[in-house]
Amino acid sequence: MTTTVDHTLGGDLARAIADAPDATAAMTRAVALLKTRRPHYTWAGIYLLDGDTLVLGPYLGKPSPHTRIPLGRGICGAAATERATIVVDDVDNDSRYLACSLETKSEIVVPILDPADAAIVLGEIDIDSDQPAAFTADDTSLLQGVARALATRLR
């Protein structure tokens, strides 16, 4: 998939996160910018880790039946457990996928790691697209930068 790179989005996200009055506002602003400025992002949300469960925080898109996801379950649970970004080009061919929408074709999940200790997962950014193979290296880089910026607000 070819997408137009928005070269100002990274800076706009960094400012929005840094200028937010609290962590919830920072997450909400990040989700809103991602969803509105990346047209292929059909669903954008943030899960926060509470014990051994990912709990859905701010999101934009269709309501998700997956508001609580145990570590190790689904692509979200796998990304948190592995502390690694996971890109799935075709969710129908990944047995870990927890169906949220029949229209979803691809997904990227980026863990938000504690800046003082990368072994500690604070949460993750979850993005779905209705387009197959929607996510490029630019998306990965952008979202990993957002995760780093959010980590400083969530800590």
Short-list 135, 74, 138, 66, CA closest to 107: 135
Q: Would you place residue 1 in the very low, low, confident or very high pLDDT band (cuts 50, 70, 90)? A: very low
What's the domain range around 124? Answer: 9-154
- Overall domain count for the chain: 1
pLDDT at 5 (0 to 100): 55
Q: Does residue 104 register a pLDDT over 70? A: yes
What was the pLDDT predicted at 99?
Answer: 80
114 within some domain:
yes
Q: What is the pLDDT of residue 3?
A: 47
> Does the pLDDT at position 6 exceed 90?
no
Among residues 43, 6, 14, the alpha carbon closest in space to that of 30 is found at: 14
Burial class (CB in 10 A: 0-12, 13-18, 19+), 10: middle
Q: Which residues of 28-46 are buried (b: 16+ CB within 10 A; e: fewer)?
A: bbbbebbbeebebbbbbbb
Strands (E), the chain: 43-50, 53-60, 68-70, 86-88, 106-114, 117-129
Does residue 19 belong to any structural domain of this protein?
Answer: yes
- How much is the average pLDDT of 101-105? 88
**In a domain? residue 74:** yes
pLDDT surpassing 80 at residue 145: yes
Mean pLDDT throughout 72-86? 96
Question: Can you give the pLDDT at residue 102?
Answer: 81
Which residues sit opposite 56 in a β-bridge?
47
CATH number, domain with residue 122: 3.30.450.40
In a domain, 3, yes or no: no
**Residue 26 is assigned to a structural domain of this protein:** yes
- Which tens digits make up the pLDDT trace of 64-78? 999 999 999 999 999
- Please report the pLDDT score of residue 53 as a whole number: 97
62 confidence band (pLDDT: 50, 70, 90): very high
Mean per-residue pLDDT for 2-26? Answer: 87
